[in-house]
Chain A
Amino acid sequence: MSSNGANVLEATGVTKRFGGLVAVNDVDFNVPERAIVAIIGPNGAGKTTFFNCMTGLYKPTTGTVMFNGRDITAKAPHIVTQAGVARTFQNIKLFKTMTVLENVQVGRHSRMKARITGSIIRTPFVRREERETEEHAADLLRLVGIPRRHHDLAASLPYGDQRRLEIARALASDPKLLLLDEPTAGMNPQESDQLRELMEKLRTERGISILLIEHDMKVVMNVSDHITVLDGGEKIAAGSPQEVRANPRVIEAYLGSQA
């Protein structure tokens, strides 16, 4: 349980097969409270598939996923989000015809209570909730570094801002665990640094655990407490950044050319 400071997320023996292809093979994986952990691996290693198994987009073939002591294996995505897991996507999935602010407001959906009749009559409760959601969304946008252009269409933001907007949108559901799928892809080094600071801040100020998939080794090595390496769907190594960096299997599979 989380109360004794153990793991927020515990995945045990997660396997995902697509027909004959084993995308993820018997992976055990934990995210401790207030930790920043990373999954790395070459392309096609099964990182995103694993992510999707955590968030209910895929149903694992076998294995269990426990979040905060609750079984969320193969639960529908909206239930997983309700439970406190939020995510971003590798290929940005913003709501393009909605404004920046509205995108974040949608992210708040699972924490809002307005019902249809209340929304039509616009009861005092609904009014207050709408106002609070809007303020909360604006706060989150400032937090991730989008102080302006809240009423522009999401698609009109520069690429790096779109990535940050996805993070703000995910944060709107008050997650305990945030899953970031290649958050720095397409960002310049300065932006990557800002994002790293943001991750630290979310951990210390809001007590959010972060699980990220990342290709930028500088970011991964600097920010992560713990790194898991996947290759061909299997966990080939795990440990602190130093340990992983020194692991010969990792060097062979992934860092080989760079090390």
Chain B
Amino acid sequence: MSTATEPPSGTAPAAKRGGRLAPVTHAFESVTRLLPTWAWGVFWMLVAILYGLYGDTFNDSLYESTIQTLAYVMMALGLNIVVGFAGLLDLGYVAFFAIGAFVSGWFMSGFYANSNIHILVSDQTKQLPGIHINFFFVICIAAAFTAMWGAILGAPTLRLRGDYLAIVTLAFGEIVPRVFELSTSGPFGIGNLDISNGRQGITPVDKPYFPVPGLDNITRIDITPFYFIALGMMLVVLFVNVRLRDSRLGRAWIAVREDEVAAAAMGVHLVRVKLWAYAIGASIGGFAGVFLGVFQNTINVDQFEFGFSVFILCMIILGGMGNLAGVILGAVALSMINRFLLPELNGVPEKFGLNFDVTAISFGIFGFLLLVMMVLRPEGFIPNRRRKIELHEDEFDDTLISVKSP
């Protein structure tokens, strides 16, 4: 038998199937190669900062939905750890959005009017009853709290794979919001503490406050500070993603995704590694959940529906599972389509004599987009893994040949 039992097909499986969209990929790659990675980082940061400073003067609603998009990007990056890195299909990610948002409701509103706790809040807020803790503490509390719940909800699923895992996580995504909805007298009817105010939800929620003298208070009218807080949080999440991806744990996640048996034989503690994926993914969901709760100024169980989990999952799949740039692109694209394109199309069915709103079938449309994507380019807009190899192409000439051939 010769070495060439199997043709050394150098192309990543992803690149092979890129088929019909190959010209797009090529155009994209030649643009990408104009600047080195760090320069692109600086470029996008400048764009983000300039937009943050001046964006609201051009288009208010675009600016507002950009802030929301940043929160979605965080969520997508968090779910990407679970689904993209560790390969655990999670259909109940909304649970962690809910838990995070309710943490902000508990600790940043007048909901618990009998308590009087104020930690580093504005003088104005100090007059109000309830628990009022500074936003920046609450995001840390929420991240830790949701991480714990991520591990707790993840634990029963550890032995499951594929479809079964999806079904169980789906159930958790349904259970958690219902628990909040029905727990107006103690969670699961234990005790009599109201944790959610039922269907009314918790509102209003405190604004973020920088306990720095001389700095203007954040108002709800000027939302610029929200933009920069979201941008900062998003960068933290991105940073954590990048660092973990290139770490011992990140490699273990990918190994587990590829082949659990081989990963275990390499000394990877499957239980621990999977639970960390759930916990970190969840904690990012909670982190972003606090922001969304505060930004929307209300925490209401209606926000936490199954569709949201699917919405975030679609972002990852469309963008390119496991690739951070792809995930961000997918999140931005879907969130903008959802906010602007679909309402634009609202009049279209009427012209054909049909009587429904496009926004009402938005998930049908996302499903269709997903289907188109699966046919044309199953690996997502920006496929995973190629970038890293490209970075080394000058050191390893043969890599060029083996990876680039379309």
**Chain A interface residues toward B at CB < 8 A:** 55-57, 76-78, 81-82, 86-87, 89, 93-99, 102, 105-107, 109-112, 114, 116, 119-122, 126, 129-130, 148-153, 155-161, 169-170, 172-173, 186-188, 191
Contacts and interface: CB of A to CB of B under 8 A. Distances in A.
Interface stretch (B44-52, B150-158, B194-202, B264-272): B264-272
Contact of A114 (B247, B255, B265, B384): B247
Contact of B244 (A87, A99, A120): A120
B80 to A, nearest CB: 15
A119 B252 CA distance: 13
A158 B3 contact: yes
Nearest to B268: A109
Contacts of A187: 1, 3
A94 B1 CA distance: 21
A158 B4 contact: yes
In terms of DSSP, what is the predominant structure of the interface of chain B? helix
B249 A149 contact: no
B267 A97 contact: no
A155 B6 CA distance: 10
B5 A159 contact: yes
Given A156-B11, A188-B3, A114 B396 contact: no
Given A57-B264, A109-B266, A157-B8, 18 more contacts: A81-B267, A95-B258, A95-B259, A98-B251, A106-B255, A106-B266, A106-B268, A109-B251, A114-B247, A116-B247, A116-B280, A119-B244, A130-B247, A155-B9, A156-B8, A159-B3, A173-B266, A186-B5
B261 A57 contact: yes
A77 B263 CA distance: 9
Contact of B396 (A57, A96, A112, A149): A149
B222 interface: no
B344 interface: no
Interface string B11-28: 111000000000000000
Contact of A119 (B248, B267, B388): B248
Nearest to B240: A120
Contacts of B216: none
22 contacts: A57-B261, A93-B262, A94-B262, A97-B254, A98-B255, A99-B388, A109-B252, A109-B268, A114-B248, A116-B247, A119-B247, A151-B395, A152-B399, A156-B10, A156-B11, A158-B6, A159-B3, A159-B5, A161-B3, A172-B266, A186-B1, A188-B2
B398 A148 contact: yes
Nearest to A192: B1
Contacts of A188: 1-3
Contacts of A87: 265
Contacts of B399: 149, 151-152
B220 interface: no
A156 B9 contact: yes
A145 B399 CA distance: 18
B341 interface: no
Nearest to B15: A153
Interface in B266-290: 266-270, 276, 280
A57 B398 contact: no
A122 B243 contact: yes
Contacts of B276: 116
A56 B251 CA distance: 22
Contacts of B261: 57, 77, 89, 93
A148 B401 CA distance: 14
B119 interface: no
Contacts of A55: 265
A151 to B, nearest CB: 4
A173 B267 contact: yes
Contact of A158 (B8, B243, B384, B396): B8
Given A99-B388, A187-B1, A126 B247 contact: yes
Contact of A81 (B1, B265, B388): B265
Contact of B385 (A56, A76, A97, A105): A97
A82 B272 CA distance: 15
B262 A95 contact: yes
A97 B245 CA distance: 14
Contacts of A153: 10, 12, 385, 389, 403
Contacts of A95: 254-255, 258-259, 262-263
